[in-house]
Structure 1
Amino acid sequence: MLFYLDDDNKSEITEVPASTLARLGWLEKDLEELIAKHIDKVVREDQLFVIHQERRYQEEPDILAIDRYGHLHIFELKRWRSSPENLLQVLRYGQIFGQYDFSGLNHLFRNYLLRIGGVSQRDLSDAHREYFELEEALPKDSFNQEQRFVVVTDGLDRDTREAIDYWSGHGLAVTALSYQVYRTKSNDLLFEVRPYGPEGDTFMELPDGLSVINTNATYMPDAWKDMLSQEKAAAYYGRKTAVSSISKGSPVALYHTGVGIIAFGKTTDTFRRAPCGSDPDAEYYLPCEFETTVNPITEPEKAITARDINKQLASSYRFRLTAYTLPPEAVDFVRNKLRERAAD
């Protein structure tokens, strides 16, 4: 539920009335495109590794993702009002994709990389190890031993949520991820959703501090080169909007998965759009002015690792999100430590 706060009478709240996209005149494809372009708002990137998104005219779930243990998470967007077929559809996907061995998942993953401008010959096992920063890759026969089902449903869709509660209570690993739509007094439309992860909520975004942008090394291994040479912090495709709210003049760092922070500086403007390959506007980037950079391939020992940061802050931050914020006290630590190591 969403409430208005009364700044004059701080003991009072007023509920913002909930609505539905159907009632507001949206089409099913509108919601589908919204989720596809903002995948990081639905899937917790710190806990799940996305390996596939639905292709048109294919019998496929909206999103397939793998957790650190190799379990397959099947996301199905329940686009409209409740019906008896809501759960049957996602269970059918479980029947189809639950039979995929490593080779089948690897094929899906490589096709997905092709569509998002990545390196299509990457091996899923290596990419998974790198993404979760595991010491050793999972054995290939460990992938897809278990499946989890996530039905993304309208918060007012009681029938679907009751069916999910029933089946989850009988041992089926199915979860409801509810979204909610509101229309405010000023006629603005609001969309509320909390991203799903198998481990639940583990962090809260901070309003200020050090903005950290991932170099997307798992999906696009060479993207870091453009970021350093062109002095920018970029995000791509369904994760691109993760950088859109970072303001001009913000302290910023680039994090390279498996290595650590490789650049520190500040943003010199708000985000801009750029093509990625043949896809227009597939990249959002922040122009930056970097004080210090290190090469993650030739001098990885100079980077500031996740362990360094968590030890300094007495924290347990995960560094797999496209963009996230570290507390203000991280700014001076990262700036000084990276400068010190780069000078050695």
Structure 2
Amino acid sequence: MPLELGVWRIDSGVTEVPISYMDQERRLEDILATDISIASPNWMVIGRQVRTSFGGCIDILAIDRVGNLVVLELKRDMTPREIVAQILDYASWVQEQEADALSRIFDSYQEKYLHNGFESLDAAFCSHFRTQHMPETLNENHELVVVASALDDSTERIVTYLSETHGVPINAVFFRLFKDDDREYLTRAWYRDPTGTEVLAEETTSKGTWNGEFYVNISSSYDWEKAQKYNYVVAGGGQWYSRTLSLLKDGGRFWLYLPGIGYAGVGIVVDSTPVTAKEFLVRQDDGTEVPLADLPDVDPGVMEDIDEPGKENFLVRVKWLKTLPQDKAIRERGFFAQQNSVCLPKAEKWDHTVKRLKKRFDIQD
């Protein structure tokens, strides 16, 4: 059944804060366009009222930090069937948009809504997500999000049916406005775990089957030489980055990518359980283990935020088969690359990439 949300003030007794419906749906659209992190910190708005060639306008078009698109459509006064049919129609248009089209959409968005000149999509993306490089491929997958002030039974049934039966990466999020005297509070609740929808988007829109080879990405904020020396891969700075480390399996082979530089290593997962930098132990030549934090030349990037819950760096123990210095990293046109810390790619591009890397690293199966 639909989710219900309540707010109570408890500083002087227990008083329920009453629900206050927004004056108009446009206000919610304005709020989300101004700060999309209210819905998800992993999104950046690139378009608003985006007109499609099929007719109609997408309320908000966003991009996530791996270059996938997110279509957000406000329910307004539409029936459940109308809103779902519309967002699916928009999805059929969105999946065809390539990088040049996305740049034009972002230019129009800046001109009409931001009035701040014409920053390139690439530069805006890097600034927003605090990364040095935009993903090499964009719009490989997409997500669909119905935005509403409440989730009715019919919409819930349709979203569940499409996602669970047909694997459509669709979700619903609803917002409630609460007023306490002259203060206003906005609450958010997702119908389905949004992390699960992100994974579903990649699994259902990618073609082919996974070849058993893991893709691993180490951010440029970490010291690649130290990762080689102390036999680990690392991700951190938030759950979005670190959660995919759990995809790794003991004994699995992985290929290590340095963002914007190239592939610099291939290794085997020794212990797939992610542990914090404070907990990670480095095995010495004599078999003893020493806490990474006690080593004199530990990577300061790995030790950042170790006492701040949610931002810790997590490490997985590996055995390197072959590595290359950063300036010798392998990069070829057509190689697979994205910003997930770990993924199990199903794209044909990944099969091609692994085949080429085996030759370049002289790895014999």
TM-score range, shorter chain: 0.3 to 0.5
Tell me which structure has the larger Cα radius of gyration: 2
Structure 2 length-normalised TM = 0.45
Structure 1 length-normalised TM = 0.48
